[in-house]
Each structure stands twice: as structure tokens, then as C-alpha cells.
């Protein structure tokens, strides 16, 4: 029996939130390392690697600084995971109901591609805000809502979709491979159980 859409969304939200909260410290270090090259030399952090970044952030700024941006990171993960899982299942069910598609890798690929597009559309604004908060100067934004308002006022609504093409080009293959692989593993275990 297929789950209703709302249960798929809630499952994705919960899984995404937990994973993002646990992974936030590494995300903070990674975002800072990526941004370092754009900073003037006297403002660069020059972390040797992600582990050095984690230790130095904790030592120099306090352990809680490792969770800077956790709200938008969790929000992003909730949006991405919920949209990927729910969109994939709904699209797959819709394709199968047409009678033109069978439960096979072509359908899984097509569903994954479209789910990747949906996930990119829903996550890109959160990615933009999350990155800006993680890179902000102290006091630049009071939180994600303030950052969103200031970004839209200064640059327009499309600023929330900066980097959409790279996001989609990264996300679509990931979602396709994830779900094609998941479907094949499910079929393998169904085959094992039937023996």
C-alpha cells in the first residue's frame, strides 16, 4: 500500500532535519573554506582541512558557533528531503497510472530526474540564504527571515535562485542514482524474500 503524500512529506522532513542538525558543523567549516578565497588575505581563516576548521571554530568562537546557520541548514534539508522523496513517489505513481510506463529503470530514471528538478526549485532559495548566513559578518543579519528580506530588497526575488543551474546539475544525477539504486535494491530483497 502506498503512503499518502502527507506521510511521505512528513517522513522526508523528519529525516532531513535530523541529518542536517548532526551534519551542520562540517557544513559550516566547508562553507567557510569555500568562501575563503573570495576574502581579502587579512580576513581569511586559512583552515588546513575540515577537521582543523572544526577545531578552530570551536576553540576560537565557541562550540555553539559550529551550529551557526543550523536553522536554514535544517530547513534546507527538510525541504530537499521532503521534496525529493515525495516528488519521486508521486511522479512514479502518476507515470505508472498512465499505462505507458512499467515499474522499471526507465520510470525510475524519469521520476528521479523530475524529482531532482522539484528539489532544486524548492531548495535553491534556502541554499542561498543558508550560505549567506554562514558567511555573514557578525550582526549582518538577525536570522534567516531578515537575510531573506534584505536579499530580496537589495537584489530582487531572483537572487534566491542564483546558482540554480549548478544546483540542478548537481542534484538531478544524485536523485536519479539514489532512486534507481533504491528501486534495484528493493527488487533484489523482494527476490531474496520470495525464494
Backbone angles phi, psi at 185, to 5 degrees: -65, -45
Q: For 59-105, how does the pLDDT look when each residue is reduced to its tens digit (9 = 90+)?
A: 999 999 999 889 878 988 898 889 998 999 999 999 999 999 999 99
Residue 127, C-beta contacts closer than 8 angstroms, at least 6 positions apart: 76, 163, 167
| Spatial separation of the C-alpha atoms in residues 61 and 36, rounded to whole Å | 17
The helix (H) or strand (E) run that includes residue 166 is helix 164-194
Average pLDDT along the chain = 91
| Spatial separation of the C-alpha atoms in residues 65 and 58, rounded to whole Å | 7
The closest of 25, 59, 60, 32 to 46, measured between CA atoms, is 32
Residue 66 carries which DSSP code? G
pTM summary value: 0.72
Amino acid at each position: 500500500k502506498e503512503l499518502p503524500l502527507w506521510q511521505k512529506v512528513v517522513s522526508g522532513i523528519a529525516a532531513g532535519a535530523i541529518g542536517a542538525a548532526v551534519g551542520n558543523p562540517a557544513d559550516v567549516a566547508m562553507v567557510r573554506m569555500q568562501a575563503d578565497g573570495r576574502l581579502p588575505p587579512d580576513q581569511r581563516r586559512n583552515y588546513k582541512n575540515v577537521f582543523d576548521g572544526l577545531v578552530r571554530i570551536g576553540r576560537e568562537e565557541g562550540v555553539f558557533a559550529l551550529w551557526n546557520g543550523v536553522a536554514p541548514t535544517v530547513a534546507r534539508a527538510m525541504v530537499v528531503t521532503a521534496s525529493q522523496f515525495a516528488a519521486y513517489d508521486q511522479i512514479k505513481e502518476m507515470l505508472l497510472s498512465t499505462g505507458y510506463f512499467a515499474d522499471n529503470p526507465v520510470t525510475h530514471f524519469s521520476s528521479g530526474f523530475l524529482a531532482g528538478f522539484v528539489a532544486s526549485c524548492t531548495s535553491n532559495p534556502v541554499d542561498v540564504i543558508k550560505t549567506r548566513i554562514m558567511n555573514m559578518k557578525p550582526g549582518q543579519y538577525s536570522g534567516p527571515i531578515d537575510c531573506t528580506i534584505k536579499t530580496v530588497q537589495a537584489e530582487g526575488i531572483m537572487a534566491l535562485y542564483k546558482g540554480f543551474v549548478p544546483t540542478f546539475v548537481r542534484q538531478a544525477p544524485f536523485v536519479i542514482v539514489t532512486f534507481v539504486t533504491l528501486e534495484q535494491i528493493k527488487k533484489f530483497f523482494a527476490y531474496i524474500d520470495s525464494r
